[in-house]
Every structure is written in C-alpha cells, then in structure tokens.
Amino acid sequence: MGLPSILRVRRRTPAAEAGVLPQSGSPSSPPPYKEHDQQQSPAIQTPAFTEASIKRATKLRKGFAISASVSYLVSLVFLILVLIGNTSNKSVLNDIYFYKLDLSDIIPQSVPNASLINSIAQSIGLHDFYQVGLWNFCEGYQNVGITFCSKPQKLYWFNPVEVLMNELLSGATIALPTQVITILDILRITSQIMFGFFLTGAVISFIMIFVSPLAVRSRWWSLGLAFVAFLTSVFIGAATIVGSVISFAFKYAAEAQSDLNIHARVGVKMFVFMWIASGFALWAFIVHAGMMCCCVSRRDIRTGRRQVRNGIVQAN
C-alpha cells in the first residue's frame, strides 16, 4: 500500500547531504521557466532576397541595358558603312559619298563653242564627276561610270584645286588668292577632325556593345558608362554635323559660280547613314544617363537600399 505523496520521503542527493545547495545552472536542477523566454528566443534570419527575385527586380534595368547595347550595334553598322563608303568601285560602296561634283558641262552653253571646249577639257584629263568619301575620292564619266578611285589614306581631305591642277595642268602650281587658301585650310582641318571623330566613335561603339550590360550591377557602373556614352555621342554627332556642313557648303560654293556650269549633289545615303548612327548613339547615352537615377540595380538590393517583398521592390 503506497503512502500519500505528502508523506513520501524524497531521496536526498549526495550534494544535499553535504549541505551544498544546487545552483540554478547545474544539471541537477533545471533552470527556472520564464514565460517570455519563448518570445525572446532569436529566430533564424533568412535572406530577404534570392537570385530569382533579384533577376525579377532588375528586369527593367536589364532591358534598358540591352537596348543600349543594341543601339550601339546599330550605330556601329551604319558607321562602318560611312567608313567604307566610296573606298572602291563596287556596286554598294560607289553610291555612298559625302558630295559629288558634276563637271560634265563646266562651260555654260551660252559661251560660243561650249560643247567643243567641254570635249577638249575631257580629252586632256577633266572627268565628268568627282565624288568624295571619308578616305579618298573617285572620278568617272557619265556614260561609263567610275573609272578611278584614289588610294585610301588616313586623315584624308579633298582638295579640288590640287585634283584639277594635276589632271588639267600636269601638276603645275598656280598662285591662289589668300581667301581660297584660307578656305582650303579650314576644309582640311574640319575634314581631318571629322575623320578622327568617326573612327573614334566606331571603336568606342564596338566596345560599348559588350560593356553596356554591366550597368545592371550598380549605379556606379551607370555613371562611368554614361560618361563614355556621352563622349561617344559627342564624337559621332560632331562628325555628322561637320560632314553635313561640308557637303552642303561644297554644293553651295560650287553652284554659286555663275561663270561655270558646275553642279553638286549631296550623297543621300551617306547623309542618312551618318544621322542614323548619331541618333542611336544619342539614345544609348540617354539610357545610360537615366539608369544613374532610375531602375533598381543588383547592388541596391544586396546593400538593402531596396527590399524585395513577394516579388515587389520596396524602398527603405
């Protein structure tokens, strides 16, 4: 028969027999229970984002970065057409030029024996037309087409006085007025600047095709890329403006000579190709500049500047 629990003798431990009281942290006595311990126990911290959530959050930024790369690709294609235009007598290249001078009837018909004089000029070396590209010039006759293209050379500029002297006067020198010399110097400097800017813009555009996607990483990348994009846009835009001004200036100057029957035509294809390349380079710069302050980057999420909750980006 068992005794009531109140009469049962509890077995004393050796420590109790020795008069040592158990400590609160000893194994023999469990720690006192507190109700709020369960509430204050630290929870396991899990990251608020995953790689998939980062990709979703930066999808818009990635799309703009890809659009910048595509813009540079398109710009590069048209810059290549500008660079290789008029370099040889081929069906595609010979129709890409800045401007074309028509000297087939350089002596007006109002002058007596004008047809005879024009025929004599052609027989001693004057061609019907001269068209100018970035690297060289080509010449030919109306009923034959292009018969000769000069050797491409860097920093080329078209000197009409020199060409006519070499073909009509066998390289003889003529004392030119100071005004003509000044105009030729300006033409040489601007043509060489245009050459250098187009070539530089093409090289940087090629590099930016592969570098532009780095803007997804952070706004600091966008800052550097925006600066390079600005320079690229300036190079291509300035070269395009210079090329357009030179072409229309030649057309105006040639047709302003009332004593000579000279016609000039601006190359439509070259004109369109230049401005398309310039337009896409400008758009790429706008995209990179916009990503400095807009669209979430990967760094924004990793550093906590932007939080991702259920696939939605939230600002702190």
103 near 127, Cβ under 8 Å? yes
Single-letter code of the amino acid located at 222:
S
CA nearest to 207, candidates 223, 228, 235: 228
Left if phi > 0, otherwise alpha if psi is -120 to 50, otherwise beta: which for 113? Answer: left
Mean pLDDT of each 10-residue bin along the chain, 316 residues long = 50 51 50 50 49 62 85 96 92 90 72 64 75 93 88 90 74 63 87 95 95 80 89 96 92 76 88 96 92 65 55 50
The predicted pLDDT at position 7 comes to 46
138 near 89, Cβ under 8 Å? yes
The predicted pLDDT at position 65 comes to 85
